[in-house]
Amino acid sequence: GTLEDQIIQANPLLEAFGNAKTVRNDNSSRFGKFIRIHFGPTGKLASADIETYLLEKSRVTFQLSSERSYHIFYQIMSNKKPELIDLLLISTNPYDFLYVSQGEVTVASIDDSEELLATDPPNAVDILGFSPDEKVGIYKLTGAVMHYGNMKFKQKQREEQAEPDGTEVADKAGYLMGLNSADLLKALCYPRVKVGNEYVTKGQNVQQVYNSVGALAKSMFEKMFLWMVVRINQQLDTKQPRQHFIGVLDIAGFEIFDFNSLEQLCINFTNEKLQQFFNHHMFVLEQEEYKKEGIEWEFIDFGMDLAACIELIEKPMGIFSILEEECMFPKATDTSFKNKLYDQHLGKCSSFQKPKPGKGKAEAHFSLVHYAGTVDYNISGWLDKNKDPLNETVVGLYQKSSLKLLSFLFSN
């Protein structure tokens, strides 16, 4: 395909794997992106590239009640391509799969079967340069993520140790990932961890195994998404001379939901920084320019000093640094993290407040006064989200997988 075709075709593919329905937007991009279109000396289209930021991988295993996971799952289950249902050993009913059915499973404004043809038209793979094997690999790993959510574990009698509760689902996931399902289950229930210079086998309780399965599913999906972006960029980079570019930045806007977690803090922090950059350029520098040119001008203060909130988040002993520090302590908990935040900031910093959630509202642990409003944050699970540990024994199996794509994604 021509460069124009490739640029246009990249969009539905990235949207299928990176966009989802949220409370406010049926087709919300859950990753940031900066797209540059480069032009040569004569003004002719020369090449393009896409840089992405922070795919919201928590959505792969969990959705709020009025939201949905990434479109690709529902596109596949639309049965527009029945061969995919057979290939992935799945059904056409999203409610058969825990990871993709915690919120809504249909979106009024979206026809998933039509969208599947946009993601994967008969010739799209040729346009973007994915090989037939890579394409099958992408589908297989997407299916494996769905099966991961259905694996069941139970507690062994009289001990704090998990064991598989049936192996049928693991067999399907293992088949799709090109690995032995018995090895997979053993690695999940009895991972080998490095202690000093040697490896020891460590038992896991049921909750630890479920956490581990979720982390592996999220990591697999995220690595695959980032690899697709790299592959698309290889196609869009023509090596032609470039002189000018037009860039478009598309990041998640400011978010205030009923329940705000670490992802919302990261998104809102980014918006806070961008707003500060924008204000500085538009208002401060612009007015200094007027002064230089001797224009009669009353200096206006737009009251947009966002530094207090930004510093509270990023300075030493700010929210991020306390989170990092707590992650170093094996005994740290959500409560110890909250107490440290309170000791450090409550009553000392006007941007940091104790939340006052109304009746029937989600529980929250602290509030931040952002430029766009006050947001209540719930810190449950932030330490785990930040550490994001992967079961290294399972990663070792991935690296030896007979599915080329999977072994490549985890090779480093």
Give the DSSP per-residue string, 12-72.
HHHHHHHEE--SS-TTEE-SEEEEEEEE-TTS-EEEEEEEEE---GGGGT---TT---BHH
For the beta carbon of residue 209, count every other beta carbon within 10 angstroms: 23
156 and 176 belong to one structural domain: yes
**What's the total number of domains in the chain?**
3
Compute and round to an integer the Cα radius of gyration of the chain.
Answer: 24
CA end-to-end span of the chain: 32
79 and 171 belong to one structural domain: no
Q: What is the pLDDT of residue 124?
A: 60
| CATH, residue 318 | 1.20.58.530
241 and 122 belong to one structural domain: yes
61 and 187 belong to one structural domain: no
268 and 370 belong to one structural domain: yes
119 and 157 belong to one structural domain: no
Q: What is the pLDDT of residue 125?
A: 59
Does residue 140 fall inside a structural domain? no
Does residue 60 fall inside a structural domain? yes
Does residue 384 fall inside a structural domain? no
Its domain, for residue 356, covers 262-379
d(CA 7, CA 4) in angstroms, rounded, equals 5
Q: What is the pLDDT of residue 341?
A: 97
Q: What is the pLDDT of residue 18?
A: 97
Q: At 137, list the tokens.
A: 């690999």
187 and 85 belong to one structural domain: no
Residues 6+ apart with CB under 8 A from 241: 40, 41, 46
278 and 211 belong to one structural domain: no
Q: Is the entire prediction scored with pTM above 0.85?
A: yes
31 and 57 belong to one structural domain: yes
Q: Are 394 and 187 in contact (CB under 8 A)?
A: yes
372 and 403 belong to one structural domain: no
Q: What is the pLDDT of residue 303?
A: 55
| CATH, residue 190 | 1.20.120.720
Does residue 224 fall inside a structural domain? no
Does residue 225 fall inside a structural domain? no
Q: What is the pLDDT of residue 354?
A: 95
271 and 198 belong to one structural domain: no
d(CA 101, CA 106) in angstroms, rounded, equals 10
Does residue 143 fall inside a structural domain? no
Determine the distance from the C-alpha atom of residue 198 to the mean position of all C-alpha atoms in its chain, rounded to a whole number. 34
- In the predicted model, residues of the chain with pLDDT beneath 70 are 123-125, 301-305
Give the alpha-carbon dihedral of 19, 23, 26, 27, to 10 degrees.
-30
| CATH, residue 62 | 3.40.850.10
d(CA 400, CA 397) in angstroms, rounded, equals 5
Does residue 165 fall inside a structural domain? yes
122 and 245 belong to one structural domain: yes
Does residue 141 fall inside a structural domain? no
Count helices and strands in the chain by DSSP H and E runs:
17, 12
